Every structure is written in structure tokens, then in C-alpha cells.
Amino acid sequence: DTAVSQTPKYLVTQMGNDKSIKCEQNLGHDTMYWYKQDSKKFLKIMFSYNNKELIINETVPNRFSPKSPDKAHLNLHINSLELGDSAVYFCASSQGGRQFFGPGTRLTVL
């Protein structure tokens, strides 16, 4: 009965590869987000989607492309991975203020 789930939990890959992270929420929320937490633990918004439409894109390189096939899913595809993309990526959802976070995906680019 996990509210916000992400797969995979860990992702180790080589520079230049393309990878995807999946996110699903079963809370019936309209809004979903992707956040990046860097090595210094600083958490920053990347994207926000409302009812499958992109609402916010916070100066993220266009190598990052979110896709929302339906209201319950928001996937993150990353092309041509770079060393600096190594971080923990969190998905979240909200309705009416409080945000609920997934467990995170730790991405390591070698």
C-alpha cells in the first residue's frame, strides 16, 4: 500500500548511457514532482506536472525529459548521462499542499 513508489532504488551506469526512473502514486493526487538531492544533501525541484501537463521546469538540462502517461505516473528519462548527474532523485505528489515523497532513486554515474 505504498503511497509513492519509485523504481529502481539504485542505478549504477556509465557516462553517456540513457536511463529511466519510474514513479507511481496511488493517492489520487493531481500534481507530481521530481526533485534532485545532490551530494551535499541539498534538495531542489526539477519538474512539476499537473494532470499530465508540465507546469514547472526549473532550468534543468534538456537531457532530462519527464513523461506522464497518466495522472498516477511520472517517469524521468535521462539521456547522455554525465558524472554530475549522480544524485538521489525523489518523486513526490501533492493535492492541497502537503507533499508525499517516494523513497528515492540513487543514481551513480561512473
Partner 1 sequence: KQEVTQIPAALSVPEGENLVLNCSFTDSAIYNLQWFRQDPGKGLTSLLLIQSSQREQTSGRLNASLDKSSGRSTLYIAASQPGDSATYLCAVEENSGYSTLTFGKGTMLLVSP
Strands 105-109 and 10-13, by their bridges, are: parallel
What is the separation of C-alpha 14 from the centre of its chain, rounded to a whole number of angstroms?
19
Give the one residue of 31, 68, 75, 93 binding partner 1; rule: CB under 8 A. 31
Q: Which is nearer to partner 1, 15 or 27 (CB)?
A: 27
Interaction of residue 59 with partner 1, rule CB under 8 A: no
Of 92 and 107, CB closest to partner 1 = 92
Separation between Cα atoms, residue 29 and residue 105, nearest integer Å: 21
Does residue number 33 form part of the binding site for partner 1 (CB under 8 A)?
A: yes
List b or e across 55-66, with b for residues whose CB sees 16 or more CB atoms inside 10 angstroms: eeeeebeeebeb
The binding site for partner 1 (CB under 8 A) comprises: 4, 31, 33, 40-45, 48, 50, 55-56, 58, 90, 92, 97-104
